[in-house]
Amino acid sequence: MKKFVLVMLFIAMAMSMIFAGGSKDAKKTVLNKDKPLVFFNRQPSDPVTGSIDMAAMNFNANTYYVGFDAAGGGAVQGKLITDFLAKADPNKIDRNGDGIIGYVLCIGDVGHNDSKARTEGIRKALGTWNGSTDPTVKKEGSVTVGGKKFKVVELEGKAMTGTDGSTWNANAATEAMGGWATKFDKAIDLVVSNNDGMAMGCLQASNYPAGVPIFGYDANADAVEAIGAGKLFGTVSQNVDAQAAGTLQVIRNLLDGLTGSDVYTKGFSVPDQYGNKITPEVQYKADQRGLFALNGPVDPSNWKSYTEGNRDAGIKQTTAAKKKVILTIYNSADNFLSSSYVPALKYYAPLMGIDLTIVQGDGQSEASCLDKFTNLGNFDAYAINMVKTNSAADYTDKLKY
């Protein structure tokens, strides 16, 4: 009887230890709704008003946005253009000698905050801003070309939407440029684009007017090379490496349990615990829960420093515990994301101990991303790039449990 009691006591103690261990593991389990969530590149916002979707940004205490200073970038692009014109030969710029600088504008997406900011920056620089980023709302402006004042007219601005509904479409830009060259002929003195993909698309038009200055935005590898070749006259770097590394840095900080200001200072303004510090300046805006990389002009004087392959030496191999992150890309065909952002992510993720799973959409249907945003319990954090800027709730709804 005594032996039986001892055996039962031993079994009870063992079971107690098992359940205690299970309870301990249960405490370690983090629900999807509490895991780090970083939106990037496409800021959750209203496509009409541009107001930030703060419901999405306050989904949990570990939700942030990483992008770039869109408004500042628009101003940089505008100044890049006016600085070029200020030094240009008026006789070469004003092709038909009518005293008017006529330009055409490739708009990426009228419902995208970045596209709106770039359109605004261009129009303000050229004096054609009339308080709206709508392609049809514009006014006459003025600009100085080689010391001489010229009237400025936006001949046409158009949102480049593909036949499949995708925005920022390079093929649509090629077609539009062909039509503009025929319609406006020598009245076109300047071509401006909201991104490099559409600018390069314009250059593909068989009747692109030779020598007409064209400006893009993004500093994609092919665009930078085109500047060196004298085909593209300028672009804007939104510091893709700072953005990609910044997206991962915020996730790494949150996964390491950092809170408060440490989330957006460690690895940014000061080194993190592994000695990493992103070199370009990244600013935090508390009212948007967002970190924003600054922009810089790229032109014939500095294009070589932006050639492909230059990575941030401030990010080195770490001893960080490996964590699994699923990341969505709104459009597998997007020139900037596919040729610049994704390669940067793939470079920095292993250095930061992040096992990255990338799923890509078609740029048209939100379902093309959402349907691949699955098995969420298998991941430690999430990074989201939406098809539409007002679709954040579609993703957070999947993370509520």
Q: What domains are defined for the chain? A: 34-69+239-399 (no CATH), 71-237 (3.40.50.2300)
Which residues, including other chains, have CB under 8 Å from residue 92's CB and lie 6 or more apart?
A: 211
Residue 153: per-residue pLDDT: 97
pLDDT at 58 over 90: yes
Say if CB 329 and CB 337 are below 8 A apart: yes
Task: Name the average pLDDT for the chain.
Answer: 91
Nearest to 174 by CA among 196, 147, 198: 198
Residue 216: per-residue pLDDT: 98
Nearest to 167 by CA among 395, 393, 390, 387: 387
Residue 20: per-residue pLDDT: 42
Tokens of 143: 């600009």
Say if CB 313 and CB 88 are below 8 A apart: no
Identity of the residue numbered 398: K
Q: Residue 308's pLDDT band (boundaries 50, 70, 90)? A: low
pLDDT at 18 over 70: no
| Angle, helix 342-351 to helix 240-255, in steps of 10 degrees | 40
Residue count of the chain = 401
pLDDT at 317 over 60: yes
Identity of the residue numbered 1: M
Q: Tokens 């010229």 map to which residue?
A: 150
pLDDT at 95 over 50: yes
Residue 305: per-residue pLDDT: 85
Say if CB 252 and CB 38 are below 8 A apart: no
Nearest to 62 by CA among 324, 250, 319, 341: 250
| Cross-strand partners of 146 | none
Q: Residue 16's pLDDT band (boundaries 50, 70, 90)? A: very low
pLDDT at 22 over 90: no
Residue 15: per-residue pLDDT: 45
Residue 2: per-residue pLDDT: 45
Say if CB 373 and CB 398 are below 8 A apart: yes
Nearest to 206 by CA among 182, 230, 170, 234: 182
What end-to-end distance do the CA atoms of the chain give, in Å?
Answer: 50
**Candidate from 139-153, 200-214, 305-319, 368-382 with smallest mean pLDDT:** 305-319
Q: What is the 3-state secondary structure (H, E, C) of 333-364?
A: CCHHHHHHHHHHHHHHHHHCCEEEEEEECECC
Cα distance between residue 154 and residue 175, in whole Å? 18
Count CA atoms within 13 Å of residue 293 on its CB side. 23
Q: Residue 23's pLDDT band (boundaries 50, 70, 90)? A: very low
